[in-house]
């Protein structure tokens, strides 16, 4: 079974903190994605990556950065957390063209 | 501004009825259109997907209808069951390896027994 593992299910951070969300996949997938999920807005793409060290901005990259140093790991970084970044964050990976994306369980981040 | 527009936001259907969820897109470069199902506390999981070279795909009780000229696609759930109650997301992707994937806002489906 493909597994996408996010490092934390729940996280509480203070405003201004630097926050790291980690995601690891075990199926040698090329593509990895970070989304945030908010009620009524669905899944909005923050960043995606199609190879090691390659990254592309999605719809809402402001306030976020990403790192992909190894193929299996894709990290989302909140440079200076703000309350409007309180959300559910979902990581996903896919093998390539016309293939299923597999999601992690999500990280519920609360910024206070 | 979302690249994939989904409606309705919520849907209530009686057991045995047909659930229909619609999506529309603008970017003609999209070439893969999956539907994902999400239960509370879980990540989304692929339900069914279609490529634009076909107009319909059926898997069990789930059917995608695709209208390339109208840039619309829809999910039909036949004989809806209470176990189908979940949030459904349409998505569209393009790019090298379909690495750019965008989602609709989601539809919360409730099937009443």
B1-81 carries CATH number 3.30.70.60: no
Q: What value does the mean pLDDT take over residues B26-38?
A: 94
Domain boundaries, chain B: 1-81
What is the predicted pLDDT for the residue at B15?
97
What is the predicted pLDDT for the residue at B2?
75
How many angstroms separate the CA atoms of B25 and B4, rounded?
5
For the cut 80, the answer to whether the pLDDT of residue B88 exceeds it is yes
User: Shortest Cα distance from A20 to chain B (angstroms)?
Assistant: 19
Which residues of chain A neighbour B34 with C-beta distances below 8 Å?
A: 100-101
How many angstroms separate the CA atoms of B15 and B2, rounded?
32
Which residues have C-beta within 8 Å of that of residue A83, sequence separation ≥ 6?
Answer: A15, A111, A112
- State the pLDDT confidence band at B11, using cuts at 50, 70 and 90: very high
User: Shortest Cα distance from A94 to chain B (angstroms)?
Assistant: 8
Across the interface, whether the CB atoms of A42 and B46 are under 8 A apart is answered: no
Contact between residue A9 and residue A106 where contact means Cβ atoms under 8 Å apart: yes
Across the interface, whether the CB atoms of A40 and B45 are under 8 A apart is answered: no
Report the residue from B46, B98, B106 with minimal CB separation from A42.
B106
Low-confidence ranges of chain A (pLDDT < 70): 1-2
Which residues of chain B neighbour A41 with C-beta distances below 8 Å?
A: 2, 105
User: Shortest Cα distance from B104 to chain A (angstroms)?
Assistant: 6
- State the pLDDT confidence band at B96, using cuts at 50, 70 and 90: confident
Q: What value does the mean pLDDT take over residues B76-102?
A: 92
How many angstroms separate the CA atoms of A16 and A25, rounded?
29
How many angstroms separate the CA atoms of A42 and B107, rounded?
9
A4-111 carries CATH number 2.60.40.10: yes
Q: In this prediction, what percent of chain B has a pLDDT beyond 90? A: 88
What is the predicted pLDDT for the residue at A40?
87
- Closest to B6 (Cα-Cα) out of A46, A43, A19: A43
Q: Which two tokens stand for residue A48?
A: 């995606």
Range 60-89 of A in CB contact (< 8 A) with B: none
Domain boundaries, chain A: 4-111
């Amino acid at each position: 079974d493909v597994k996408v593992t996010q490092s934390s299910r729940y996280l509480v951070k203070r405003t201004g903190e630097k926050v790291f969300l980690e995601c690891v996949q075990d199926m040698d997938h090329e593509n990895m994605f970070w989304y945030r999920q908010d009620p009524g807005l669905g899944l909005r793409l923050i960043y995606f990556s199609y190879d090691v060290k390659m990254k592309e901005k999605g719809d809402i990259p402001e306030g976020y950065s990403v790192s992909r140093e190894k193929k299996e790991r894709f990290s989302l970084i909140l440079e200076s957390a703000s309350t409007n970044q309180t959300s559910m964050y979902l990581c996903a990976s896919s093998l390539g063209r016309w293939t299923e994306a597999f999601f992690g369980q999500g990280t519920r981040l609360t910024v206070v | 501004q979302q690249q994939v527009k989904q409606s309705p936001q919520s849907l209530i259907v009686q057991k045995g009825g047909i659930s229909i969820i619609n999506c529309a897109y603008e970017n003609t470069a999209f070439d893969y259109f999956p539907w994902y199902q999400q239960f509370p506390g879980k990540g989304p999981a692929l339900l069914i997907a279609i490529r634009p070279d076909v107009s319909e795909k059926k898997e069990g009780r789930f059917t995608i209808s695709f209208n390339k000229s109208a840039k619309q696609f829809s999910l039909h759930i036949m004989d809806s069951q209470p176990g189908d109650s979940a949030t459904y997301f349409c998505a569209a992707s393009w790019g090298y390896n379909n690495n750019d994937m965008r989602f609709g806002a989601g539809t919360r489906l409730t099937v009443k027994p």
